[in-house]
């Protein structure tokens, strides 16, 4: 019998948050009971400027701190970039790679994402690899094919349930208040599960598959209950402690 997958809820603060944001972090930490932390792995990915200070605030297994991106190289002449080693040195335990905002704003390809995931592993970080179709691709009936192509290109050989988390984020659902139906999420997550298990065997079967895109306290329980949904990657709903704790309540 396979071991149950411990879900993860990760908050991606994107380009939001100043030092004053520590007040929200403190409220979140105060609101996460040991019982809840036993049921779900909680992570906040603040802007890089806050990784070190936030990492000092989290203790025990209540929450981990992650990063939002890394460079594929270990060091070198890459002005403004951060290596996975630097992020790990600041206290991060994971890094999001291939977020659609990086793919769109910075032209990142599946090959770039693949290289970044491998850089993350080399630094001892978990790679949270994002995939997801655009609205036009969904309307054209290509959503599953697009995501399978992204998985094939973005997830490196050697991915395990320990070093990799997949986040399915339909681009059209990010920050819009729109979400796919539970049926559409189930279809996509099953397709991803089958695809990853075929390629990676038991590691693919045990890999966490997060859903992301307009997850809020009001819809979290329904989305998190879908088969093969092992947690959430949350943007706007992770900025305020009350909202984030409301989402985590799906696991209480």
Contact range with ligand G3H by CB under 6 A, out of 22-30, 34-42, 143-151, 209-217: 209-217
What is the spatial distance between Cα 46 and Cα 49, in angstroms, rounded to a whole number?
8
List binding-site positions for substrate. Answer: 12-14, 175, 214, 235-236
Backbone angles phi and psi of 143, in degrees to 5: -55, -50
* Residue 71: strand, helix, or coil: strand
Is residue 12 a contact residue for ligand G3H (CB under 6 A)?
yes
Is residue 231 a contact residue for ligand G3H (CB under 6 A)?
no
Q: According to CB under 6 A, which one of 98, 212, 223, 224 is a site residue for ligand G3H?
A: 212
Is residue 174 a contact residue for ligand G3H (CB under 6 A)?
yes
Strands 64-67 and 41-45, bridge-based pairing: parallel
Is residue 113 a contact residue for ligand G3H (CB under 6 A)?
no
What is the spatial distance between Cα 126 and Cα 118, in angstroms, rounded to a whole number?
10
- What is the number of the residue whose Cβ is closest to ligand G3H? 235
List, by residue number, the catalytic residues. 99, 169
User: Residues 230, 232, 233, CA angle at the centre, nearest 5°?
Assistant: 135
Residue 206: which H helix or E strand, with range? helix 202-206
Is residue 180 a contact residue for ligand G3H (CB under 6 A)?
no
Is residue 233 a contact residue for ligand G3H (CB under 6 A)?
yes
Shortest Cβ 175–ligand G3H spacing (Å) = 4
* Residue 5: strand, helix, or coil: coil
Q: Which residues bind ligand G3H (CB under 6 A)?
A: 12, 99, 169, 174-175, 212-215, 233-237
């Amino acid at each position: 019998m396979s071991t149950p997958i411990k879900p993860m809820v990760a908050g991606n603060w994107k380009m939001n948050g100043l030092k004053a944001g520590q007040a929200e972090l403190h409220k979140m930490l105060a609101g996460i009971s040991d019982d809840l932390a036993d049921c779900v792995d909680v992570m906040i990915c603040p802007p890089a400027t806050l990784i070190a200070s936030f990492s000092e605030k989290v203790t025990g297994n209540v929450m981990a701190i992650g990063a939002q991106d890394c460079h594929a190289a270990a060091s070198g002449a890459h002005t403004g970039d951060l290596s996975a080693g630097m992020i790990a040195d600041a206290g991060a335990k994971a890094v999001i790679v291939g977020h659609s905002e990086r793919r769109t704003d910075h032209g990142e390809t599946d090959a770039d994402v693949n290289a970044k995931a491998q850089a993350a592993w080399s630094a001892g970080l978990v790679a949270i690899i994002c995939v997801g179709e655009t609205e036009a691709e969904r309307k054209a009936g290509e959503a599953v094919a697009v995501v399978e192509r992204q998985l094939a290109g973005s997830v490196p050989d050697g991915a395990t349930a320990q070093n990799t988390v997949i986040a399915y984020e339909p681009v059209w659902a990010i920050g819009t208040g729109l979400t796919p139906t539970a049926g559409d999420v189930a279809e996509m997550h099953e397709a991803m599960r089958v695809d990853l298990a075929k390629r990676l065997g038991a590691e693919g079967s045990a890999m966490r598959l997060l859903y992301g895109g307009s997850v809020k306290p009001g819809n979290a329980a329904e989305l998190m209950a879908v088969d093969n949904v092992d947690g959430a990657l949350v943007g706007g709903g992770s900025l305020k402690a009350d909202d984030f704790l409301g989402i985590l309540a799906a696991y209480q």
